[in-house]
Amino acid sequence: PSVLKIDAETAEVKVLHGAAKLLRTSRPIIWCEVSPENCDAVANLLHKDGYEIYAAALRPAERTALHRASWNTLAIPGPLGVTNI
């Protein structure tokens, strides 16, 4: 898949762990609803796999890369082999 939508009602960390191979191989764009208690864990997982994360609710011209996932997180894959830790 080229796009992955995740709305797992606080289970987004489990979904991302389960999708680890997909994130490394297919590198889909991800739109993820992130519960407040999972913001840091989701950001760490996505950054580890080389994704830049943004607030999806903002218009593209207004987006800047985030260190912490937001409620509606948009994750864009960077080049293979590059991590954003």
Q: What is the pLDDT of residues 11-44, one digit of tens each?
A: 999 999 999 999 999 999 999 999 999 999 999 9
Q: What is the pLDDT of residue 73?
A: 98
Residue 53 has pLDDT above 70, yes or no: yes
In tens, the pLDDT along 70-83 reads 999 999 999 765 55
Q: Using the 8-state DSSP alphabet, how is residue 66 labeled? A: B
**CA 47 to the chain's CA centroid:** 8
Contact, 30 vs 69, CB < 8 A? no
Contact, 54 vs 73, CB < 8 A? yes
pTM of the entire structure? 0.89
Q: What is the pLDDT of residue 79?
A: 76
Calculate ∠ Cα 85-27-25, nearest 5°: 100
Residue 85 has pLDDT above 60, yes or no: no
